Amino acid sequence: MFRRILAALLLILVAVFLLVAAWPQLFGLQRTFVIAQLVAFRGSAIAIAFIGVIALIVLSLLSRSFRRLGSSLALLLLVFALVSAAVLATRGFGNSSFSTKGRSDITVMSWNTLGDAPGAEAIARLALDSHADIVTLPETTKATALAVAAIMKAGGKPMWERTVAFDQISKARSTSVLTSVDLGTYHVDETAGSTTTLPTIVLSPDDGTGPVIVAAHPVAPIPTEMPHWKADLAWLSTICESKNVIVAGDFNSTLDHLAGFGADASHTLGNCTDAALKTGNAAVGTWPTAIPALLGAPIDHVMVTDNWRVTGMRVVQNLDTAGSDHRPILVQLQPRS
């Protein structure tokens, strides 16, 4: 009898844990330490759950005394895996199609370079090949950003460069952004504020007619930075309260973590919506490059306000050996008439 009570208690605890892991938003735990790290890797969690199901089935077949408990645990893991897979399916496992780029369309590229690791030539080549008009580069120094701009100018795509560095000790504490001269001149909006530990750049158009461009880099949710991480995301949601905003960068957050920051159910962050979600790419992991994209964490984003239509998005997967631990992302935007 006591053994059955312990088994029942174990099943209840496992069921509650798996429910929280599958949908932490139900309990408001999506930004809680441990749960936040777990839900970031839904794809990996599904793979591990399926391996667990197979292992439990084999053990149940080998041990009659374990059969009832083992089969029950296997069923719980199977349900967790199927629910999590359904969540990812609604977000999209990848759609790299792009509409033909119009004259007024904008292509946004974002790449956390892990402290300039891929080098200016590789960054510029991707930007030129993709006809990028906005290039946000978290963890990229001014020297590299200037070199990228020079290469792009030589390639027929002149760009303005802006870099903000909190210090010169760590390259991670620099963020750079390049904007096409065709978009007009921009200035760093010093009044807009920034994220806390790593810099975010807010660019405003000098003539007041173009979009506000934000190169975002909230800090990662490591134990010592959890309060700053939450504050960074809350601040970013206020940046998206304007009517014409493009935010791109390393958010160190998936759609699960951002739940509750949208102005309403149809928005992801303030009045901005995730381009990957719009195009069926929100389950494709951008970090780390050491594991397959569908097992990774989709933490790099482009977010836009409703005056922009997303006409293409791609997580670049052929540069995984370029040096960065992040995959670049490309997004094409069309202004709504």
- The answer to the question of residue 100 being in a domain is no
* Closest to 31 in 3D by CA, of 234, 291, 263: 234
- The answer to the question of residue 180 being in a domain is yes
**Which residues make beta-bridge pairs with 196?**
none
- What does the pLDDT read at residue 290? 98
243 and 145 share one domain: yes
- The answer to the question of residue 144 being in a domain is yes
pLDDT mean by block of 10 residues, the chain; 337 residues: 81 96 96 97 98 96 91 97 98 96 96 98 98 98 98 98 95 97 96 96 94 98 97 96 95 98 96 98 98 98 98 98 98 94
61 and 110 share one domain: no
CATH label of the domain that carries residue 203: 3.60.10.10
225 and 326 share one domain: yes
Whole-angstrom distance, CA of residue 316 vs CA of residue 329: 6
74 and 181 share one domain: no
- What does the pLDDT read at residue 331? 98
- The answer to the question of residue 101 being in a domain is no
Beta-strand (E) ranges in the chain? 106-110, 134-138, 159-165, 174-180, 186-188, 201-205, 212-216, 245-250, 273-274, 300-304, 308-315, 329-335
First-to-last alpha carbon distance for the chain, in angstroms, is 70
**How would you label 96-121 residue by residue, b for 16+ Cβ within 10 Å and e otherwise?**
eebeebeeebbbbbbbbbbbbbbebe
Whole-angstrom distance, CA of residue 160 vs CA of residue 92: 34
141 and 204 share one domain: yes
- What does the pLDDT read at residue 6? 87
Number of folded domains in the chain? 2
- What does the pLDDT read at residue 155? 98
- What does the pLDDT read at residue 314? 98
* Closest to 240 in 3D by CA, of 209, 266, 220, 213: 213
Angle at 238 between CA 237 and CA 241, to 5 degrees: 100
**Amino acid in position 216:** A
- The answer to the question of residue 84 being in a domain is yes
110 and 46 share one domain: no
- What does the pLDDT read at residue 1? 65
- What does the pLDDT read at residue 126? 98
